[in-house]
Structure 1
Amino acid sequence: MKRYAALFCYLSFLPINAQVQKAITDSGKEVVLFDDKTWRFVHESDSAALETILTNATLYNRDPKATRAVNSSNLNVAVYHDPKKWSAVPNRLQNTEYMFVGPNHIFSTLTADKSRIPNLRIVKDVVLSNVRQAVDYFRLKESEYRTINGKKLLYLRYIANLKGLDFEYAGYYFINDSGFAMVVAYTMQKDFDKNFAEIENFLNGFTEVKYQSPPPPMPPPQH
């Protein structure tokens, strides 16, 4: 699992300023207790969502307004986005190359790494394992294969609670012969649904780009 640790560098962006406690029920299940006296099971995802990856037949393409590209320096992928709505900031965390700031307190990260992962099923397993270890509460909502700009990707949507704060995430995960990449967007869980169209539109700007060899050197001048 350590070799895929870059899959979750983006968790460090989230604010943590509340407190939670954990407890074990009489039946042996772990629950998390919040400041407002409510409680939840730590991991309450539907078993079918955890075990199954559906296939979405819709063909997704980037928005024509997504005219600005941010290219990964680790892998031949890019994120096209609408520069009137989104701004990109280079990031210094290992493998997490860019952070994007969008409207209405939406954030996203682009992470790419040359680690080669055999298939997207393994990507899902690693993602879920790492998230559940890093957060206090986790619920997987969607898991499916999608075709984005002509490429097969894994789409995951889930809720994670960090120290009493609920965030919701949606992301695309991609692999090729050179490595893996992911673009993940998130905001406060209470604001996610009303911003979902913008989030999905942004994610659909993720694309594989063709590597272009540098041009040959210019011949010396003739005298």
Structure 2
Amino acid sequence: MKNFIIVLALFLLSTQHAQAQVKAVTEEGDEVILFKDGTWKYTSDKKTAEIKLDTLYTKKAADATFLLKSKKIPCGVWLNPKKWKFEKDANDTEPNEYSFTLNGEDVYAMFIPEKGQIPMDSWKAVAVENAKSVAPDIEVVSEGIRNVNGIDVYCMQLNGTIKGIKFTYFGYYYSSDKGSAQFIAYTFQSLFKQYKPEMEKLLNGFVQIDENL
């Protein structure tokens, strides 16, 4: 299991600036344009209706009572310390500032902050290119924009195989003029459906922090 965590930790990278809209594909295969205000519209001329995606607005769970702050960028993670244990890279030798494990379960997460700004519409290419270096069969299962605690993030699910291990990699990708972050949870493909609710609860704890506080 330790090797699984180490190999997946290779899935990182970053660089530069946020855009107002992003193209994505729905579960039905239609191409849409996603806007920062939580709305979207079809790119096809035949489908011009703009629809509010209220279901993409999320906030931290009620039992997320502990705020873990990043020392690199003005962001943090609210989590339930009774469910999730975390470790900080003591020597600053790893790209991830914090690593998380769901107590007693095969679910993990990484918080990877960067001081540079990454364009929102570049995250997909960055993540996929990184992943292919260790999992050539990587595929994007779903993608889109979510508003988490008032912050727009790019959300993506990737499936792939590393050294015979089939995994699912589910995360939020954030960028602002204060820096960027990848907040990613992962587990075995066979366990993703079971653990997705807990993974999303952790991810939904992502927040910006007022630097003056």
Shared fold per TM-score greater than 0.5: yes
1:86 corresponds in structure 2 to 84
Residues in 2 aligned to 1:111 and 1:53: alpha-carbon distance in whole angstroms: 27
For structure 1, the 5+ residue unaligned runs are: 1-10, 16-46, 214-223
Partner residue of 2:169?
169
Amino acid at match of 1:136: P
SS for the counterpart of 2:62 is: coil
Deviates more, 1:55-64 or 1:182-191: 55-64
* Candidates 7, 11, 15, aligned match of 1:14: 7
Q: Is the counterpart of residue 109 in structure 1 residue 102 in structure 2?
A: no
Maintained 8 Å contact 1:53/1:143:
no
What corresponds to 1:187 in structure 2?
A: 187
Question: What is the CA–CA distance in structure 2 between the aligned matches of 1:109 and 1:208, rounded to whole Å?
Answer: 17
CA shift for structure 1 position 52: 6.1
Distance 1:151 1:168, change over 3 A: same
What's the C-alpha RMSD, in Å, of the aligned pairs? 2.3
Larger Rg over CA atoms: 1
Q: Which residue of 1 aligns with 2:157?
A: 157
Q: TM-score, normalised by structure 2?
A: 0.73
Measured in 2, the distance between the counterparts of 1:114 and 1:14 equals: 24
Report the Cα distance in structure 2 between the residues aligned to 1:126 and 1:146, rounded to whole angstroms.
Answer: 19
Rounded Cα–Cα distance in structure 2 between residues aligned with 1:89 and 1:61: 24
CA distance in 1, matches of 2:95, 2:33: 26
Aligned mates of 1:167, 1:93 — CA distance in 2: 25
Check the 8 A contact 2:101/2:108 in 1, yes or no.
yes
1:64 is displaced (CA, Å) by 1.2
Distance 1:139 1:53, change over 3 A: farther
Instruction: Indicate conservation of the 8 Å contact 1:110/1:181, yes or no.
Output: yes
Q: Deviations over 1:132-190 (max 9, x none)?
A: 22213212111100000011000001112101101101100100102101110001111
State how far apart, in whole Å, the 2-side matches of 1:96 and 1:212 are.
25
Pair 1:57-2:54 in alignment? yes
Distance in 1 between residues matched to 2:123 and 2:33, nearest whole Å:
12
Does 130-139 or 194-203 show the bigger shift?
130-139
1:14 Cα offset (Å): 3.1
Q: What amino acid sits opposite 2:76 in the alignment?
A: A
Deviation at 1:48, TM superposition (A): 4.5
Q: Distance in 2 between matches of 1:179 and 1:53?
A: 25
Taking the aligned partners of 1:150 and 1:106, their CA distance within structure 2 comes to 26
User: What is the alpha-carbon distance in structure 1 between the residues aligned to residue 140 and residue 200 of structure 2?
Assistant: 17
CA distance in 1, matches of 2:33, 2:6: 28
- Give the TM-score, by structure 1 length: 0.70
* Residue-by-residue CA offset, 1:49-100 (whole Å, 9 max, x unaligned): 7986755532100001101111111101101110110011012433310000
CA contact (8 A) 2:25 2:143 kept: no
Alpha-carbon distance in 1 for matches of 2:128, 2:164? 19
- Which residue in the other structure is 2:132 paired with? 132
Say which of 58, 64, 67 aligns to 2:65: 67
Q: What displacement does 1:12 show?
A: 6.6
Q: Percent identity?
A: 26
CA separation of 1:137 and 1:179: change in aligned 2, threshold 3 A: same
* Secondary structure of the corresponding residue to residue 123 of structure 1: helix
> Deviation of residue 121 (structure 1)?
0.6
Q: Which has the higher helix share?
A: 1
